């Protein structure tokens, strides 16, 4: 179970990447299924070649940025639908990942030094100490992520996702915002893949297949817990959603009639339940109350302040 907690925190990077495209930019980007493997492949090959593991992880991040940029070019400049652009990049990356790896699987065992080697040597991997360290690291990354979304570029990306036409009318270069968002999103996903490869001790060509489901599950679970909130709170709960998703997977695999071959089915069921829970029972009532409070506090932009004051006097 503690290992599941470790993995949930590391996959939190991937969840942030999916959140950036799925919620902020309003794009369902399927590139992540292959960019995750790209980050793992680049890091694994560089580490086995004797390079510094942190440098290898950074290169894995930039390889994901390149993959996301390609998807952005296909969408923005070639005019291809973002869903299809992601699929095209994903398919092409499969062959590129095989080229990078040289074979289907690259092990990171037998004395290979990774970023987790000091923790392994101290016997701390898979303990509460590693959980605490990973939680601190992902908290720092989430803070940096939220700060970025508060910058001028981040606000431009959020405006592009909310209303692209209005953002363009206000002078926001929406095409550039999409490309930056896709690049950063896939960079985070690839960095997650690089860390996962080092944690598990191998990089495999199929390790990213179906990852978009896990990413969407993390985002949906996190947002289902809080409803509509600010970006800072939502990003935090997306990471918590990744954490809970891995715990649920681990608990489900503990059931006697389920095994590792059922993981994709379990993931699909988790996403379905996460989508339905906010619509039923007490969660539905909470959602309606939040929506009512939002409408009550929504500012009146149809009248000037003086006109609203006069209306109050009349009333």
* pLDDT over threshold 70, residue 285: no
Note the pLDDT of residue 287: 57
Least confident range of 28-32, 40-44, 124-128:
124-128
Q: How much is the mean pLDDT over the chain?
A: 83
* pLDDT over threshold 70, residue 278: no
Domain that holds residue 116: 2-314
Note the pLDDT of residue 63: 95
* pLDDT over threshold 50, residue 308: no
Encoded tokens for 180: 């930056």
Strand partners, 204: 105
192: which residues sit within 8 A by CB, 6+ positions away? 10, 11, 12, 13, 14, 17, 36, 39
Tokens 């652009």 locate to: 85
- Tell me, what CATH number does 96's domain have? 1.10.3470
Query: What SS3 class is residue 199?
Result: helix
* pLDDT over threshold 50, residue 300: no
Encoded tokens for 207: 């390790």
49: which residues sit within 8 A by CB, 6+ positions away? none
Query: In whole angstroms, what is the distance from residue 151 CA to residue 197 CA?
Result: 32
pLDDT: is 252 or 7 the higher one? 7
Strand partners, 105: 204
Over residues 72-98, the pLDDT tens digits come to 999 999 999 999 999 999 999 999 999
Query: In whole angstroms, what is the distance from residue 278 CA to residue 281 CA?
Result: 8
Over residues 191-242, the pLDDT tens digits come to 999 999 999 988 999 888 878 888 888 888 877 766 556 677 778 888 888 8
Measured CA angle at 301 (ends 296, 304), to 5 deg: 115
Which phi and psi angles does 255 have, rounded to 5°? -70, 140
Query: In whole angstroms, what is the distance from residue 250 CA to residue 276 CA?
Result: 21
> In terms of Cα–Cα distance, which of 92, 106, 99, 103 is closest to 197?
106
Least confident range of 67-81, 210-224, 273-287, 294-308:
294-308
Note the pLDDT of residue 123: 86
Encoded tokens for 288: 């309606």
Q: Where are the alpha helices (DSSP H) in the chain?
A: 2-19, 32-48, 53-76, 82-101, 117-121, 128-149, 152-162, 164-169, 174-200, 211-226, 231-253, 263-276, 281-296, 305-314
**What is the domain count for the chain?**
1
* pLDDT over threshold 50, residue 9: yes
Over residues 140-184, the pLDDT tens digits come to 998 999 899 889 999 999 999 888 889 898 888 999 999 999 999
């Amino acid at each position: 179970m503690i290992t599941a907690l470790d993995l949930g925190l590391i996959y939190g990077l991937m969840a942030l990447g999916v959140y950036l495209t799925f919620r902020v930019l309003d794009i369902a980007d399927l590139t992540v299924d292959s960019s995750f493997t790209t980050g793992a492949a680049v890091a694994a090959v560089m580490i086995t070649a004797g390079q510094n593991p942190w440098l290898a992880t950074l290169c894995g991040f930039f390889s994901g940025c390149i993959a996301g940029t390609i998807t952005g070019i296909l969408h923005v400049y070639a005019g291809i639908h973002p869903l299809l652009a992601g699929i095209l990049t994903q398919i092409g990356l499969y062959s590129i990942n095989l080229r990078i790896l040289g074979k289907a699987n690259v092990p990171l065992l037998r004395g290979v030094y990774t970023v987790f080697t000091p923790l392994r040597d101290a016997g701390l991997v898979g303990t509460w100490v590693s959980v605490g360290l990973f939680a601190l690291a992902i908290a720092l990354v989430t803070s940096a992520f939220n700060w970025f979304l508060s910058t001028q570029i981040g606000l431009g990306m959020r405006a592009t996702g909310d209303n692209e036409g209005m953002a363009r009318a206000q002078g926001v270069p929406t095409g550039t915002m999409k490309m930056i968002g896709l690049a950063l999103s896939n960079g985070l996903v690839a960095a997650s893949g690089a860390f996962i490869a080092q944690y598990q001790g191998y990089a495999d060509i199929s390790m990213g297949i179906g990852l978009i489901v896990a990413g969407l599950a993390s985002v949906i679970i996190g947002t289902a817990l809080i409803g509509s909130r600010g970006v800072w709170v939502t990003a935090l709960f997306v990471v918590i959603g990744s954490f809970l998703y891995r715990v649920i997977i681990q608990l489900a695999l503990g059931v006697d009639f389920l095994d590792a071959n059922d993981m994709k089915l379990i993931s699909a069921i988790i996403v379905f339940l996460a989508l339905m829970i906010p619509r039923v029972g007490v969660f539905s009532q909470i959602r309606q109350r939040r929506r009512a409070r939002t409408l009550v506090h929504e500012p009146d932009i149809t009248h000037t302040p003086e006109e609203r004051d006069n209306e109050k006097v009349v009333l």
